Amino acid sequence: MLTSSPVLEIRDLTVSYTIEGAKPFNVVAGISLTIPRGVTLGLVGESGCGKSTTARAVMQLTNWSGEIRLEGTDMARVSTSSLRTLRPRFQMIFQDPISSLNPRRRIRQIMTSQLKVSSQFTSSKEADVRIARALEQVGMEPATTLSKFPHEFSGGQCQRLCIARAILLNPVLLVCDEAVSALDVSVRAQVLNVLNGLKASSALSQLFISHDLAVVKNVSDYVAVMYLGKICETGPAGDVLSQPKHPYTRALLASVLEPEVDEIERSGTRSRGEMPSVLNPPSGCRYRTRCVKAQPRCAEAQPEARSFGGGHEVACFYPD
Segment 184 to 223, residues that bind other proteins, using CB under 8 A: 184-190, 192-193, 196, 199-200, 211-215, 217-221
Q: How far is the CB of 257 from other proteins (least distance, A)?
A: 3
Q: Which is nearer to other proteins, 55 or 253 (CB)?
A: 253
Q: Which is nearer to other proteins, 199 or 246 (CB)?
A: 199
Q: Where are the beta strands (DSSP E) in 117-229?
A: 173-177, 205-210, 222-227
* 259 class by beta-carbon count within 10 Å (0-12 exposed, 13-18 middle, 19+ buried): exposed
Q: Which amino acid is at 118?
A: S
Q: How far is the CB of 174 from other proteins (least distance, A)?
A: 15
Q: Determine how many CB atoms are found less than 10 A away from the CB of residue 197.
A: 13
Q: Which is nearer to other proteins, 130 or 290 (CB)?
A: 290
* Residue 303 touching other proteins (CB under 8 A): no
Span near other proteins by CB under 8 A; candidates 25-33, 102-110, 124-132, 179-187: 179-187
DSSP assignments along 238-288, one per residue: HHHHHS--SHHHHHHHHH---S-SSPPPPPS-PPPS-PPPTTSPPSSSTTT
Segment 136 to 165, residues that bind other proteins, using CB under 8 A: 154, 156-157
* Residue 263 touching other proteins (CB under 8 A): yes
Query: Which one, of 74, 30, 15, lies nearest residue 231 by Cα?
Result: 30
> What whole-number distance in Å separates Cα of residue 22 and Cα of residue 91?
34
Q: Which is nearer to other proteins, 20 or 263 (CB)?
A: 263
Residue numbers of the site for other proteins (CB under 8 A)?
Answer: 46-47, 154, 156-157, 184-190, 192-193, 196, 199-200, 211-215, 217-221, 237-238, 241, 251-261, 263-264, 270-271, 274-275
